[in-house]
């Protein structure tokens, strides 16, 4: 089913590991070259930056072509939009197949964006087509789009191995209950059940394969499904209002899920699951007050930050204190420095997200009648 053989996939991951070890001095360059010579693959690849740019410009082309066909032929109806997007989706998929199959492109950006575009366009086409059908048989156009999107995303993952396509498929599938179930609690429960099923399926595969390919992919999908369950069940991440037993059930789950994830992640040394669970635990601390209806204060982020820093420093010291510098396979020492591309991109993040907001405008001098914080016996300005 997949374009790339098991050997190719394993060699590519081994190449990445050998390069990382060489970069970090665990192997000298001669040893690295020697090992890499035994791990050759006949695939066309590129680095992360060119891959991103190639994907971006491919998206520009696909978008321009769809709009060009629509505007040049003068098509405006839903049916014609469905036909055009459907045809372009098939063309995109054919090109992606050719690039991956004939030219042996692997994570090259172009074939990735073409495959993803084919899935998106086909789901848009299906939704548009469905909206023109007189009798909808109980499903609206968005539901049909999500169903087709879920199937296409899964198909793209199976064919090309793009894990993010499987994640997209999962998101589409989890979105379906939000379209079909009118009860807010019911649709969240249904979505959570779907994600639990996905989690259990991919977890069984992850356990069977371990960290080696394809276990690494299943590990990422498992963590994503677990995060999905949490997102669906943490009601404070949405804007709907809930009451009763379901509300308090989800409150308990916001604590149970991170703890369960941490326990499984630590036991199995499962990095993606551990990362997701730590994030979930932090989100639980953030949403705890809104859940209980307690007032929020300006100093809450500071307290949270201090708590997290204390926890991290305590954990680090506890790990470092052991005679061998590790406990149960966990160490505070950096073994290898990974994700150089990610680090480069992250280093630009502060520019778009400075920690300082605008200071608020200075309040006008109180007149004595506009507030009740002092001398107002607790009454507000409207008292």
* Footprint on this chain of other proteins (rule: CB under 8 A): 44-50, 52-54, 56-58, 60-61, 63-65, 67-68, 71-72, 108, 110, 298-299, 301-302, 305-306, 308-309, 312-313, 316, 340-341, 343-344, 346-360, 362-363
Both tokens of 70, joined, read 């629509």
Q: Where are the beta strands (DSSP E) in the chain?
A: 326-327, 330-331
Q: Taking the complex as a whole, how short is the minimal distance between the CB of residue 316 and other proteins, in angstroms?
A: 8
Nearer to other proteins, 323 or 360 (CB): 360
Are 115 and 159 spatial neighbours (Cβ–Cβ below 8 Å)?
Answer: yes
Nearer to other proteins, 114 or 144 (CB): 114
Nearer to other proteins, 240 or 363 (CB): 363
Q: Where are the alpha helices (DSSP H) in 293-380?
A: 300-321, 340-346, 349-352
Q: At 163, which helix (H) or strand (E)?
A: helix 163-175
Cβ neighbour number for residue 232 with a 10 Å cutoff: 25
Q: Taking the complex as a whole, how short is the minimal distance between the CB of residue 203 and other proteins, in angstroms?
A: 31
Are 57 and 65 spatial neighbours (Cβ–Cβ below 8 Å)?
Answer: no
Nearer to other proteins, 207 or 308 (CB): 308
Distance between CA atoms of residues 57 and 294, nearest Å: 48
Q: Taking the complex as a whole, how short is the minimal distance between the CB of residue 186 and other proteins, in angstroms?
A: 39
- Which of 53, 110, 48 has its CA nearest to residue 346? 48
Q: Taking the complex as a whole, how short is the minimal distance between the CB of residue 347 and other proteins, in angstroms?
A: 4
Q: Taking the complex as a whole, how short is the minimal distance between the CB of residue 131 and other proteins, in angstroms?
A: 24
Nearer to other proteins, 263 or 346 (CB): 346
Q: Where are the beta strands (DSSP E) in 158-283?
A: none
Q: Is 205 helix (H, G, I), strand (E, B) or coil?
A: helix
Nearer to other proteins, 136 or 316 (CB): 316
């Amino acid at each position: 089913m997949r374009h790339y053989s098991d050997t190719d996939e394993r060699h590519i991951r081994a190449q990445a590991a050998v390069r990382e070890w060489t970069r970090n001095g665990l192997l000298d360059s001669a040893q690295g070259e020697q090992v890499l010579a035994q791990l050759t693959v006949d695939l066309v690849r590129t680095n992360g930056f060119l891959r991103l740019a190639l994907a971006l410009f491919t998206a520009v082309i696909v978008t321009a072509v769809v709009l060009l066909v629509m505007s040049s032929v003068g098509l405006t109806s839903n049916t014609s939009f469905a036909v055009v997007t459907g045809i372009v989706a098939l063309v995109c998929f054919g090109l992606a197949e050719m690039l991956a199959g004939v030219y042996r492109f692997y994570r090259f950006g172009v074939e990735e964006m073409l495959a993803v575009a084919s899935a998106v366009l086909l789901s848009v086409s299906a939704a548009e087509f469905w909206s023109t059908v007189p009798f909808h048989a109980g499903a609206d156009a968005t539901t049909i789009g999500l169903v087709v999107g879920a199937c296409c995303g899964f198909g793209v993952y199976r064919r090309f191995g793009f894990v993010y396509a499987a994640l997209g498929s999962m998101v589409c599938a989890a979105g379906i209950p939000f379209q079909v179930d009118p009860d807010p609690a019911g649709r969240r429960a249904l979505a959570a059940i779907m994600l639990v099923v996905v989690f259990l399926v991919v977890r069984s595969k992850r356990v069977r394969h371990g960290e080696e390919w394809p276990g690494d992919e299943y590990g990422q999908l498992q963590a994503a499904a677990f995060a999905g369950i949490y997102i669906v069940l943490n009601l404070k991440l949405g804007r709907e209002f809930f009451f009763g037993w379901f509300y308090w059930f989800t409150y308990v789950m916001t604590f149970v899920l991170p703890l369960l994830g941490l326990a499984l992640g630590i036991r199995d040394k499962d990095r993606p699951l551990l990362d997701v669970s730590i994030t979930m635990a932090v989100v639980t601390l953030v949403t705890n007050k809104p859940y209980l209806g307690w007032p929020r204060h300006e100093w809450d982020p500071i307290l949270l930050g201090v708590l997290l820093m204390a926890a991290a420093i305590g954990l680090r010291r506890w790990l470092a204190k052991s005679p061998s510098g590790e406990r149960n396979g966990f160490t505070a020492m950096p073994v290898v420095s990974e994700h150089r591309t990610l680090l480069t991109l992250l280093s630009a993040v502060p520019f778009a997200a400075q920690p300082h907001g605008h200071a608020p405008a200075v309040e006008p001098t109180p007149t004595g009648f506009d507030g009740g914080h002092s001398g107002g016996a607790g009454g507000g300005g409207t008292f």
